[in-house]
Structure formats: C-alpha cells, structure tokens
Amino acid sequence: MGAFGAFLLTSAYGKMHWQGFKDALMKTLEISALILVLVAASNFLGAVFSRLGTPTMLTEYLIHLDLSPSLILAMIMALIFLLGWPLEWVPIVLIIVPILLPLVDKLGFDLIWFGILVAVNLQTAWLSPPVALSAYFLKGVVPEWDLRDIYGGMMQFMVIQLLGLILIITFPQIALWLPGYLYPSP
C-alpha cells in the first residue's frame, strides 16, 4: 500500500519518469534480496544453535536458577531493549527471539503476548537515547533539525511506549483480547 501510495503521489505531482521508477525498482530489489539473505542466514544460524542445544541449555540454566518467571521476563525484556539500541529488528526477531522462545514457553507465558511485548519493547528501544535509531532516521530525512531537538520531541513518545509496555505486562488481556476474539480456543 505504501508503494502504491508513493506511485500515486509521484504521478499526481508529475514527477513520475521511467528512470526514477527503474531506480526505485532496483533499490527495492536490493533491499528485498538483503532481507531474504538475512532471513536465510538467521534461519541457518538458528538451526545450528538449536541443533547444538543452545535454547534447551539456556532454558534449563535459567529454570534451575529458581528465579520467578516475572524476573526472568524482566531480564529478557532488558536484553531485548539493550539489543534494540544498536541492532535492527530483523536480527533480534530472527535470531534472539527463537533462542528465547523455549524458555518463554516453559515459563508458561502466552507466546502471542510475548511477541507483542517484544514489538513494543523494540519500538521503545528505537526511541531511547543514547542510540535511538529513529532519531537518526529522522535526522537523515530533515538534516536541518538539531539532534537534541529530535531527542526532546521523541521523549514524550518514549514515555508513552514505556507506559504501554507496563500496561501490557500488567494486564495481558489488552494484547490478547483481539486475538482471542478472532481465534477463540476450542
């Protein structure tokens, strides 16, 4: 839909020309190929880790520490938050999360709920200094804006994201109501 909207707007403003369209298609192909290579490489890495027993070893180690499930969840969320600063969502979701899923499942957490927590957590990390990848993306789009002003404007959204994350952790039904309504359990 975004590409179709961009196509419509470019045509409406009279800026559509064959060379620009061809360049956009090539850039899209490059990015799509890069993502597919990342997916293939992360699946291979995940398969190797799984075959070596890393998720099972991690699960057993953390279960035997006799920590509360809430504390382990807080540790997982802190890890994902810290990884969200320097990394894109793709390696975290495709490599780290599959390693953690057996642990989350063994602790008895709903996997849909956990996936939503990861998504909100990563969005929060993207808004959070010191790295705040979203700030650098915005700075690239509007170079004349000062990075300090961008950080200041993003802080209110980060607070809202953190509040949302706390609410979803405290009241899981916020995230589980719609999936439960669409796909009722038998």
Q: What is the pTM of this model?
A: 0.73
Task: Note down pLDDT in tens along the chain; length 186 residues.
Answer: 888 888 899 889 988 888 988 998 899 899 889 888 877 887 787 778 778 887 788 888 888 888 899 999 999 999 999 888 887 787 888 888 888 888 899 999 999 999 999 999 998 888 877 777 778 778 888 889 888 888 888 888 888 988 999 999 999 999 999 988 998 877
d(CA 4, CA 11): 11
The alpha carbon of residue 53 and the mean position of all alpha carbons in its chain are separated, in whole angstroms, by 25
CA angle 101, 72, 87 (to 5 degrees): 60
Q: Which helix (H) or strand (E) holds 3?
A: helix 2-12
- Cβ neighbours of residue 94 closer than 8 Å, sequence gap 6 or more: 38, 39, 42, 43, 46
- Cβ neighbours of residue 157 closer than 8 Å, sequence gap 6 or more: 127
d(CA 148, CA 154): 10
d(CA 38, CA 29): 14
Domain boundaries, the chain: 1-52, 54-182
